[in-house]
């Protein structure tokens, strides 16, 4: 049985990939700096530095019959690729993974392309989006009217519809491309989050979108990898927001499983490991709605009858926060506490999900009956 090593994980998709590898029959090992317990996974807690990871692998003899070293956690793909190079089990283009994890390197890599957004190291009235180069999950990305200092660079604010492209690449060719519309909202902190994702199987890619994808694969020399690209469309023009060297997290696995009608994560791992797989196809629509709050609250109780929810085209409800836990006023993507997956994006109502919230350190509570999550948890739209 081949060993697979995963470097760190977060709640959601990256953890589901590890569970999928276990179901596929691999001996799965996780190196992390967190306290995590996963069934049938050997967990090694360590500092997540290059040398510490190599030492942990060697000291625990994990390098015998090693099939691959991966990370699908935000900010760790490049590190995992470097370690895989050391143990000669690499399949990614390591330098390109480094570029994709650095927002400023991406801007410079594509600065000659017409789909790139104008940017500067200095704030001006023209460049009002401030970003840190290593920002993750929408953290450290702000709409500003002044400089935030030299730790940030600045981009032009682009109006238009925002999209996500989930792409599986094999031998430098995209073998699966999914176009996903993102509903973006601006928070009270002048940050931006994705409120929902919509897949319409009839919404086809334009020539400009495919031209951008081709340029990304060619310039970054991506041989075999799942990546995702965020971009805007303004008057038919495509404008690149960012590229990430992994599948999106927090429910993307469930959305892709649903629209393909099969286990997409298993297909992706087989592609990475050069095993046989059937090329995935989009066979149905999908709608993924995020759950979050516009104020700091504590979860008192969560109730729903899934059999009744299914009658309203709801396929899955996943809530990560538990009774008694605090959910924070939404600032970035990491503050979301769950999601609902629907098969029909035309009807966005979510009926029958009852969430009781109370203010922290308070005996009183608010009971939110989710007739329409859009109404209850919306903020100012971008």
Residue whose entry in the numeric block shows the structure tokens 């970003």? 131
Amino acid 365: pLDDT: 57
SS3 content of the chain, % helix, strand, coil (to 5): 25, 35, 45
Write down all domains in the chain, each with its CATH number in brackets: 3-90 (3.40.50.20), 99-272 (3.30.470.20), 286-381 (no CATH)
Of 189, 377, 187, 179, nearest to 285 (Cα)?
A: 179
355 pLDDT tier (thresholds 50, 70, 90): confident
CA 100 – CA 94 distance, rounded (Å): 10
Amino acid 353: pLDDT: 86
Q: Are strands 286-291 and 237-244 parallel, antiparallel or unpaired?
A: unpaired
Q: State how far the alpha carbon of 253 is from the alpha carbons of 38, 247, 259, in Å.
A: 18, 8, 10
Is pLDDT above 50 for 379?
no
- HEC letters along 137-194: CCCCEEECCCCCCCCCEEEECCCCEEEEEEEEEECCEEEEEEEEEEEEEECCCCCEEE
Amino acid 357: pLDDT: 81
Q: What is the DSSP letter of 376?
A: H
CA 340 – CA 351 distance, rounded (Å): 11
| pLDDT tens, position by position, 146-158 | 999 999 999 999 9
Is pLDDT above 70 for 367?
no
Each residue of 288-305: b (16+ CB within 10 Å) or e? bbbbbbeeebbbbebebe
The greatest distance separating any two alpha carbons of the chain, rounded to the nearest whole angstrom, comes to 58
Average pLDDT in the 312-334 region? 92
Amino acid 203: pLDDT: 96
| pLDDT tens, position by position, 88-108 | 998 899 999 999 999 999 999
CA 204 – CA 59 distance, rounded (Å): 50
| pLDDT tens, position by position, 297-313 | 999 888 888 888 888 89
First to last CA, the chain: 50
Is pLDDT above 90 for 129?
yes
Contact 191, 332 (CB under 8 A): yes
What ranges in the chain are assigned the alpha helix state H?
Answer: 13-23, 50-59, 77-86, 94-100, 103-109, 207-220, 252-260, 264-272, 306-310, 373-376
| pLDDT tens, position by position, 17-58 | 999 999 999 999 999 999 999 999 999 999 999 999 999 999
Is pLDDT above 80 for 372?
no
């Amino acid at each position: 049985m081949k060993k697979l090593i995963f470097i760190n994980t977060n709640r959601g998709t990256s953890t589901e990939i590890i569970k999928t590898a276990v179901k596929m029959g691999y001996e799965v090992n996780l190196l992390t700096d967190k306290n995590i317990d996963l069934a049938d996974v050997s967990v090694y807690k360590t500092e997540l530095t290059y040398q510490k990871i190599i030492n942990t692998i060697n000291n625990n003899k994990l390098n015998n019959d090693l099939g691959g070293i991966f990370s699908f956690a935000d900010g760790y793909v490049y590190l995992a690729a470097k370690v895989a190079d050391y143990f000669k089990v690499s399949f990614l283009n390591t330098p390109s993974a480094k570029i994709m994890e650095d927002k400023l390197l991406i801007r410079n890599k594509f600065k000659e392309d017409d789909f790139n957004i104008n940017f500067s190291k200095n704030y001006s009235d023209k460049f009002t989006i401030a970003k840190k180069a290593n920002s993750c999950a929408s953290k450290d990305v702000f709409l500003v009217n002044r400089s935030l200092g030299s730790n940030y660079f600045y981009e032009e604010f682009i109006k238009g519809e925002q999209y996500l492209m989930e792409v599986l690449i094999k031998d430098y060719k995209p073998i699966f491309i999914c176009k996903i519309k993102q509903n973006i909202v601006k928070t009270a902190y002048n940050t931006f989050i994705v409120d929902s994702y919509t897949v319409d199987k009839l919404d086809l890619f334009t020539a400009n979108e495919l031209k951008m994808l081709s340029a990304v694969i060619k310039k970054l020399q991506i041989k075999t990898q799942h990546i995702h690209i965020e971009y805007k469309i303004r008057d038919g023009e495509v404008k690149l927001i960012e590229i990430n060297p992994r599948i999106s997290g927090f429910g993307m696995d469930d959305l892709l499983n649903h629209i393909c009608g099969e286990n997409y994560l298993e297909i992706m791992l087989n592609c990475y490991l050069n095993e046989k797989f059937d090329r995935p196809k989009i066979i149905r629509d999908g709608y993924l709605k995020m759950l979050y709050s516009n104020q700091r609250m504590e979860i008192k109780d969560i109730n729903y009858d899934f059999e009744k929810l299914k009658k309203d085209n709801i396929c899955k409800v996943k809530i990560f926060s538990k009774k008694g836990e605090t959910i924070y006023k939404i600032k970035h993507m990491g503050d979301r506490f769950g999601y609902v997956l629907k098969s029909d994006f035309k009807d966005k109502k979510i009926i029958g999900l009852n969430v009781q919230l109370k203010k922290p350190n308070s005996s009183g509570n608010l009971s939110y009956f989710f007739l329409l999550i859009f109404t209850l948890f919306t903020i100012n739209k971008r």
